[in-house]
């Protein structure tokens, strides 16, 4: 009898232990990917009903507002918030808060930054093919440049960026039409640049262009440019008119020449892992808003150039537009720079750019 009771007790004990072990299951959530800094604040769900908030870092080097790029980004952030019902959140880092353009692009590659709007001067250091668009006086005007950067050749350049860096190009906006401003005298022809120390980006094509015109190129960081002009380290610089005004460079360069020697794009670059975090419905919203950003930023670039050229005139800057003969002298002085571009970008990229322009011009 005692033996039977002992067996029953043992069975009861085993059943009790089994019930306790089988009553719950512990699930371990894998750690989030570290390949991108984009974060989510809720678990993924069906794309149509997902209430996850997707957060992205957007960085650039221009002013936060009052500048075509900054103002267009602020409008785009509002549009993304509204159209996604708050599910897309942008953390905004303007004015080089996250570093130079080179550092921002490297951050995009590593995933510590999600989106960057960056100019050709920096990007051609990472993707030499892009230098094909920096041939001096390549475009007749900014509207022809817009048509080009909406063309099949621009898609080819986007593929070059992705194939060489793994970063996606979402669109091609405008950094501006670059021109000279000087501390000492009006620049009316290449002869006026002879012996002048001209600040340029660390870009071999721009430096070769200045050399071909007779100037002495000096690669100086943009953050140090104002002081370099003020202290006489350099005699002149080249940038789009609106940037010359918004950055206060007109205060130390009272002579502006609208020669428009190079059209400078503003690419929208994004970490692919961050982009792929978005469900399909939000990808549609995101892509639409970026497309609107490109159109709006270009529009503001043109408007702000007109506005800020007048602002500079009102502040005592002498603004000069070269005559047809003077303009041709600039073009003629730089005709061989294309050879330098071919050596950097390669014949394929240059030939594709030239062929696309021929198609656009009919």
CATH architecture of 51-361: 3-Layer(aba) Sandwich (3.40)
pTM value surpassing 0.75: yes
| Helix 68-83 × helix 280-314 angle, to 10° | 150
Domain edges within the chain = 51-361
Helix (H) or strand (E) holding 246: helix 241-246
Q: Of residues 35 and 260, which shows the higher confidence score?
A: 260
Query: What mean pLDDT do residues 263-283 have?
Result: 97
Query: What mean pLDDT do residues 216-239 have?
Result: 95
Cα 76 from chain centre:
15
Residue 80: pLDDT over 60: yes
Cα 309 from chain centre:
24
Range with lowest mean pLDDT among 1-10, 135-144, 301-310, 318-327: 1-10
Structure tokens belonging to residue 113? 């930054």
Residue 74 Cα distances to 134, 146, 172, angstroms: 28, 22, 17
At 8-46, the pLDDT tens digits run 333 343 333 333 433 333 333 333 333 344 555 444 334
Structure tokens belonging to residue 242? 């609106």
Query: What mean pLDDT do residues 197-226 have?
Result: 94
The pLDDT value recorded for residue 40 is 53
Query: What mean pLDDT do residues 206-221 have?
Result: 96
Q: Of residues 349 and 14, which shows the higher confidence score?
A: 349
Query: What is the C-alpha separation between 173 and 296, in angstroms, rounded?
Result: 9
Residue 331: pLDDT over 90: yes
Percent of the chain with pLDDT over 70: 86
Reported for 33-39, long-range contacts at CB under 8 A and 24+ positions apart, including other chains, are: 33/273, 34/111, 35/111, 35/271, 35/273, 36/111, 36/114, 36/271, 36/273, 36/274, 36/277, 37/111, 37/112, 37/113, 37/114, 37/274, 38/114, 38/271, 38/273, 38/274, 38/277
Place of tokens 């002048």: 196
The pLDDT value recorded for residue 38 is 59
Query: What mean pLDDT do residues 300-329 have?
Result: 97
Q: Of residues 121 and 213, which shows the higher confidence score?
A: 213
Query: What is the C-alpha separation between 145 and 298, in angstroms, rounded?
Result: 11
Query: What is the C-alpha separation between 93 and 336, in angstroms, rounded?
Result: 39
Residue 203: pLDDT over 50: yes
Query: What mean pLDDT do residues 64-88 have?
Result: 97
Mean pLDDT of the chain: 89
Residue 342: pLDDT over 90: yes
The pLDDT value recorded for residue 222 is 84
Q: Of residues 9 and 358, which shows the higher confidence score?
A: 358
At 286-314, the pLDDT tens digits run 999 999 999 999 999 999 999 999 999 99
Residue 86: pLDDT over 60: yes
Residue 146: pLDDT over 60: yes
């Amino acid at each position: 009898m005692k033996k039977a009771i002992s067996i029953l007790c043992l069975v009861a004990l085993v059943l009790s232990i089994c019930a306790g072990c089988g009553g719950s299951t512990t699930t371990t959530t894998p750690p989030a990917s570290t390949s991108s800094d984009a974060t989510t604040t809720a678990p993924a769900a069906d794309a149509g009903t997902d209430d996850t908030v997707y957060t992205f870092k957007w960085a650039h080097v221009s002013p936060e507002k009052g500048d075509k790029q900054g103002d267009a980004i602020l409008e785009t952030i509002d549009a993304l918030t509204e159209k996604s019902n708050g599910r897309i959140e942008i953390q905004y880092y303007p004015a080089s808060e996250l570093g130079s353009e080179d550092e921002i692009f490297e951050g995009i590659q590593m995933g510590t930054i999600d989106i960057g709007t960056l100019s050709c001067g920096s990007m051609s250091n990472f993707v030499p093919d892009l230098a094909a668009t920096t041939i001096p006086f390549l475009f007749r005007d900014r509207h022809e440049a817009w048509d080009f950067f909406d063309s099949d050749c621009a898609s080819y350049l986007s593929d070059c960026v992705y194939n060489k860096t793994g970063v996606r190009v979402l669109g091609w906006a405008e950094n501006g039409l670059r021109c000279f401003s000087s501390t000492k005298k009006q620049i009316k022809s290449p002869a006026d640049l002879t012996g002048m120390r001209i600040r340029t980006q660390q870009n071999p094509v721009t430096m070769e262009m200045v050399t071909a015109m007779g100037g002495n190129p000096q690669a100086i960081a943009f953050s140090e440019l104002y002081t370099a002009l003020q202290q006489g380290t350099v005699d002149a610089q080249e940038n789009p008119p609106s940037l010359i005004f918004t950055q206060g460079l007109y205060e130390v360069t009272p002579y502006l020449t609208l020669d428009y020697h190079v059209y400078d794009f503003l690419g929208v670059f994004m970490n692919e892992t961050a982009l792929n975090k978005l469900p399909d419905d939000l990808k549609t919203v995101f892509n639409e808003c970026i497309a609107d950003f490109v159109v709006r930023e270009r529009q503001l670039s043109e408007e702000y150039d007109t506005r800020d050229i007048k602002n500079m005139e009102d502040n005592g800057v002498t603004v000069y537009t070269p005559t047809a003969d003077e303009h041709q002298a600039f073009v003629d002085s730089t005709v061989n720079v294309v050879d330098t571009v071919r050596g950097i970008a390669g014949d394929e990229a240059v030939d594709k750019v030239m062929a696309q322009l021929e198609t656009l011009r009919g």
